[in-house]
Amino acid sequence: MAPKPKLSFNTPALPKDNKPAERRPDRIGKRLLQAHLPATTVINLKILAAKKGVSVVSLVEEAVGLLLAQYRDEL
C-alpha cells in the first residue's frame, strides 16, 4: 500500500499539472472572512437572502459595513 501524502496547511495545493491556480476575477482584491455561527442564525440568513433575492455574501457584507459604520469613531 502506498504511503499517504503529507498534508500541509501552509501552502495551497497545486493542480495535478503543477501550474498555479488562476484567481477568480470576482475574488481579486478581497480576503476570506469566516465565522462559526449558530445553525438558526445561518438558516435565518439564508431565508432572508432568498426573500430579498440576494446572496448571503451580500447580506454579510452589508451587515459588516453597518457594524463598522456604527463603531467608526473607535477605529
pTM higher than 0.85, yes or no? Answer: no
Asked if residue 55 belongs to a domain, the reply is yes
Return the pLDDT at 23. 82
Asked if residue 14 belongs to a domain, the reply is no
Count the domains in the chain. Answer: 1
The pLDDT of residue 63 is above 70: yes
Nearest to 35, CA basis, from 67, 9, 3, 5: 67
Residue range of the domain that includes 43: 35-74
More confident residue, 5 or 14: 5
The pLDDT of residue 71 is above 80: yes
- 12-62 pLDDT per residue, tens: 666 667 666 788 898 888 899 999 999 999 999 999 999 999 999 999 999
| Helix 39-52 vs helix 56-70: crossing angle, to nearest 10 | 110
